[in-house]
Amino acid sequence: MELDDLKTAWAAHGALLERSVAINERLLREVMLRKVRRRIAPYVASRVLEIACGALVLVAVISVLVAHPAAARYLVIGWPLAGFVAATTATSAYLLVHAVRLDHAGPVTAIQRAVEVLRRAEYRALKWAVLGGVVFWLPAALVLFEAVTGVDALARADLAWLVANLMFGLGVLAIGQAMSRKYVERADLGPRARRVVDALSGRALRRAADHLAELAAFEREAPRA
């Protein structure tokens, strides 16, 4: 075999090898992104369930408030409760929209950024749900009990006990928010803060981020192979 023939055969072999590598890379990307979509699916379902439950609770709360249009307790406590329920439901809708709009066909780095934004938003949503829940758990229980039974539970509750619970909840909210802003909600997350966000952003988003990190690492290594 002459030198030109060897060069031609070597070039053909190289082209075939490059094509094989490209196919394998594409297949790997499709497999990893399929895993990401599977992780996002239960997250989307959870947000849909949250929105449905939030809407039902909001309707129940507003029905009780409309029945007591001039009562001081319902004006001062009930309507802020309705606002809290509406805000948490709207937050779930925000998370749902951003999860559904993830562009799985785009660059991996862009998907990673979108998932990271979603994880931080999920952390903030959970933070406000927990801290707000500490503030409003008693009014919520009384108003929902009233919506189910028709008994004026909020009107009959001991005022001192009700105010004490609200003051305690507001104190917890202020402390929790201050600690979150100082230690977790920072541009430069430390290892501990990262673990907190990882734990509270949910398993689905955490696993999706892990799959994307694996794919990004492979794509960084592939050109050098």
Q: What is the mean pLDDT of residues 26-49?
A: 76
Residues 185 and 124 sit within 8 Å (Cβ to Cβ):
yes
Quote the pLDDT of residue 181. 83
Query: Where is 157: in which H helix or E strand?
Result: none
Q: Residue written as tokens 């008693």?
A: 138
Could you tell me the residue ranges of all domains in the chain?
37-224
pTM higher than 0.85: no
Q: How does 176-214 read in b/e, with b if 16+ C-beta sit within 10 Å?
A: eeeebeeebbeeebeeebeebbbebbbebbbbbbebbee
pLDDT tens digit string along 191-223?
666 666 666 656 666 666 666 666 566 555 554
| 40 pLDDT higher than 90 | no
Question: Of 75-89, 120-134, 162-176, where does mean pLDDT reach its minimum?
Answer: 120-134
